[in-house]
Amino acid sequence: MRSKDRISYFYDGDVGSVYFGPNHPMKPHRLCMTHHLVLSYDLHKKMEIYRPHKAYPVELAQFHSADYVEFLHRITPDTQDLYLNDLAKYNLGEDCPVFENLFEFCQIYAGGTLDAARRLNNKLCDIAINWAGGLHHAKKCSASGFCYINDLVLGILELLKYHARVLYIDIDVHHGDGVEEAFYFTDRVMTVSFHKYGDLFFPGTGDVKEIGEREGKYYAINVPLKDGIDDSSFNRLFKIIIDKVVETYQPGAIVLQCGADSLAGDRLGCFNLSIDGHAECVKFVKKFNIPLLVTGGGGYTKENVARCWTVETGVLLDAELPNEIPDNDYIKYFGPDYSLKIPHGHIENLNSKSYISTIKMQVMESLRSIQHAPGVQMHEVPPDFYIPDFDEDGQNPDERVDQHTQDKQIQRDDEYYEGDNDNDNPEDV
């Protein structure tokens, strides 16, 4: 039984086996937990599951500087001591450590977002999901905030080959600064970020007054929030703003970053959103019936990240999920109640009605400054998949990617990473 929307879902088990380090909050293992929860609810039967291709360095350099990409390709935990100046230059260190298979990790999550954009462009699906993507802080020449390659910028650049205007929406608790910065001077991408702002909260940008510059003036929208925002305030603000944005901007495609660190109880977050409140944003964006690319992002309480993205996969499939979590390889993490939903948080809501009202007015004022959706002189569409000539005989056959391999659906059971390689106990909060 297929959903009426054709949905492509990208996953590679290898992405969840990388390990940032014992004290690092980023746990890619949450992606394995999410995937197994999706499988346990039989959601995979309602969509097409693909293993993404590993993005080539030349694809990553469509946005990132070639020297930065080359450095990520070259650096390893064993050699990092030889490159102390470069580590500082490219901002690798405590937040963005060098770990085993770092570059391959980047290739997989970026490849998933690129493949998702290409399937949307070629009308092979209506919605594409890459929970491994959404690393919105990475800059053109440096890593930032646990992010190395900005897959979102690469995916948006791909969508711009076919669409005059792309709308980017970010509901991570942190400001989507890397994506905003990449498109700050253009009207072809509108970025809308809902995030915690103030108290030196990372990354420190995202004031309501940051609206874009030059051709991009008024096309960056920031919704700065304070601690403790709840479902009703967040959803009301989200729906009013996004409704007006879509009406005014008329995007040809939407990219939605669903960072789960905006949930109540997140290790690094400070909002009170329930999973239902978070998922309500996904449901609302889906209703526009505009080609939609959905990614993950932040999220540091692993079991809640897995719950959230599974519920949101269900929302995108119009599937109601029973609250009792079915048996799966990670069931121990979801005890003691083994339920899908989490309660609201209890942080004091510092967002007064007058504060919310002021923010809304300022955003609406910016939107009124846009006369109508900007027109774009369309040019010949560049090829989807520019890959330089390789000596095929000299290539490792496991690393060559042809169209058939890209599109091959995942069938094997033995490729899902099942070990718990992140030193977290299920009881950790």
Mean pLDDT in consecutive groups of 10 residues from the start of the chain, 429 residues? 77 95 96 98 97 98 98 97 97 97 98 98 98 98 98 98 98 98 98 97 98 97 98 98 97 98 97 97 98 98 98 98 96 95 89 97 94 60 50 41 42 38 46
Q: Name all contacts of 322-330 with Cβ < 8 Å and 24+ positions apart.
A: 325/37, 325/40, 326/40, 326/41, 327/40, 328/36, 328/37, 328/39, 328/40, 329/36, 329/416, 329/418, 330/32, 330/33, 330/36, 330/37, 330/306
DSSP structural state of residue 52: P
154 falls within a domain? yes
Annotated binding site for a divalent metal cation: 172, 174, 261
384 falls within a domain? no
Domain CATH code at residue 23? 3.40.800.20
Annotated binding site: 95, 145, 172, 174, 261, 300
207 falls within a domain? yes
pLDDT at 388 (0 to 100):
41
399 falls within a domain? no
374 falls within a domain? no
pLDDT at 345 (0 to 100):
85
Annotated binding site for substrate: 95, 145, 300
Given the residues 64, 137, 163, 195, select the one marked as catalytic: 137
Neighbours of 242 (CB within 10 A): 21
pLDDT at 343 (0 to 100):
79
157 falls within a domain? yes
- The domain of 256 spans 7-369
424 falls within a domain? no
pTM, whole model, 2 decimals?
0.89
417 falls within a domain? no
Return the H-helix or E-strand segment holding 292.
strand 292-295
Decide: 306 and 37 in contact? Cβ < 8 Å: yes
pLDDT at 377 (0 to 100):
58
Is 137 labeled as catalytic in the residue annotation? Answer: yes
